[in-house]
Amino acid sequence: MKKYTYSAKDSDVQGKWYVADANGAILGRLASGVASRLRGKLNPLFTPHADTGDFVVIINAEKIKLTGKKMTQKKYQHHTGYIGGLKTATAQEIMAKRPEELIRHAVKGMLPKNKLGSRLFKKLKVYTGSDHPHQAQNPEPLTF
């Protein structure tokens, strides 16, 4: 009898939809759970080089929490591409302008840094408030 390891293909996997409520959730714990679900680590067909993950919708992004003094001390940097264009902002400043960016940044850092990671990141949808346009997909609630 021949034994081999099953390798899932993208066509073998039907991605489910989940909705996670970020109300009162800790940023890192929520992000690690979402990244695991996007990657498909909980799927029995998990294959490291294939997209076996699910779609995740996160609502109430403005109600996320950070532990300790991270809200004022944690800094996020990006470069505009121009000379001297390094921009720095604290988590508190980003939370005031675009709270969904904190979650996106945390989840993206936990995904693979390659083409597969880019495809997986597109399956993440983050919204402020409790409304989202993905009701037609019948998302299941996701708790951590």
Q: How would DSSP label each residue in 31-67?
A: HHHHHHHHHTTTSTT--TTS----EEEEE-GGG-B--
What pLDDT sits at residue 1?
A: 62
Distance CA 43, CA 45 (A): 5
What's the topology of domain 16-65+99-142? Ribosomal Protein L13p; Chain: A; (3.90.1180)
Amino acid at 126: V
Q: What is the residue extent of each domain of the chain?
A: 16-65+99-142
Supply φ then ψ for residue 119, to 5 degrees.
-65, -40
**Regarding predicted confidence, which is higher, 103 or 144?**
103
Greater model confidence, 128 or 12:
128
Using an 8 Å Cβ cutoff, are 30 and 64 in contact?
yes
* pLDDT interval class at 97 (50, 70, 90): very high
